[in-house]
Chain A
Amino acid sequence: MRAHTLLMAVFAVLLAFAAGPGLWGASDPVTWIGSWQKAVFASVCHQDLNRSIWLNGAPMAVCDRCFGIYAGTAMGLVLAYAIRPRIRALKVAAVWALVAILIDVAATLAGVWPPLRSVRIATGLVLGCAAGFLLVSWRNPPSTP
């Protein structure tokens, strides 16, 4: 239980960092360029301004899909207090979310459709939510032979 709460606290902090400098008082994209929040996530996200949610006049430190993943994981961790889905169902959800992300990325790069914020956030949320449940799956009852 304590480890679960610790994980939730870690993800709450990550989410606050990912929200970018707009949450911390900045109100323009110029501040964003030199912000520590941008630097923290620079190696794991493309941080494209056109594919990011803007908060208080500044873009977030991660793109909208990555923010969906972090938010989804936090959501999964919260829901895991009440619901304990089967691990197999979580694996299937994670794989399907990954497939959906790959299709969306490929279609966007090929110009089939433009980057759609709702799709990017939704796919990130599903993947993150499955990851959140899997992170605390030791709380699920052990299987019986």
Chain B
Amino acid sequence: MEPVEKPSYMNDAVRYGALFGIAASVLSLALTYLYLGSEPDGAMFTPMSMVGIVVCLLGAMTGLLTVRTVAKTTGLPMKAGQGAVIGLVAGALFTVFSGVISVVWTQLVDPSLTDRMMEHMIANFEAMANLPAESKEQMIDAVAAEFEKQKTFMGQLAALGLNGLFNVVLNVFTGMIGVAVFAKKEEVL
């Protein structure tokens, strides 16, 4: 009896993890520089606000599309647990690719980026007209303290770990949803 070869999802997970990880990093950096190039006007919703949306959308798509490709390629029925595992791997790869780019960029390519972001964000807080002066000062101090934490390699690693963990969990869910939406259903004879 010939052994049945289990279809591998690793290639698809690497492909989508890399593709969406790089895309999320490039778009995030583009939005960050767009924000730094703008005049601080005290607005709450800035190009920086879009970074979270972009990362969330692309991150969630990673697990969903990896499962879709695996389901279409194999044409076999899949279980929700398989989708969860594929989503987990794809989400972890997304985190690794986007995390490495982020660390390399902020530590080696443009080390002053974090400082410039902090200064711009503080200037934006100062331009906010509807905040009382006392709370404004307190918020500026809190923002500065947060940036100081994130400036260190360990601080950045901790932030990446936390965000990465969330992305992995998100992809476990989108992987499971991918099975429900794209995989062939088991038929009753």
Contacts and interface: CB of A to CB of B under 8 A. Distances in A.
Nearest to A38: B146
Contact of A30 (B45, B52, B80, B142): B142
Interface residues of B, number: 37
Given A30-B139, A135-B173, A42 B180 contact: no
Given A48-B49, A143-B187, A143-B188, A43 B181 contact: no
Given A44-B170, A45-B56, A33 B44 contact: no
A45 B159 CA distance: 15
A49 interface: yes
Interface residues of A, number: 33
Interface string A50-72: 11000000000000000000000
A142 B52 contact: no
A70 to B, nearest CB: 11
A34 B142 CA distance: 7
Contact of A43 (B50, B52, B142, B176): B52
A39 B142 CA distance: 13
A131 B135 contact: no
B173 A131 contact: yes
Interface stretch (B5-13, B14-22, B107-115, B161-169): B161-169
Given A46-B49, A46-B50, A145-B187, A41 B135 contact: no
Given A46-B49, A47-B52, A34 B145 contact: yes
B142 A33 contact: yes
A46 B180 contact: no
A3 B72 CA distance: 26
Contact of B180 (A40, A48, A137): A137
A34 B173 contact: no
B27 to A, nearest CB: 13
A142 B186 contact: yes
Nearest to B184: A143
A28 B169 CA distance: 29
A117 interface: no
Question: Closest 4 CB pairs between A and B?
Answer: A46-B49, A43-B163, A44-B56, A33-B142
Given A33-B142, A34-B142, A48-B44, 6 more contacts: A39-B159, A41-B166, A42-B52, A51-B44, A138-B180, A145-B189
Interface of A: 3, 10, 28-30, 33-34, 39-51, 87, 90-91, 131, 134-138, 142-145
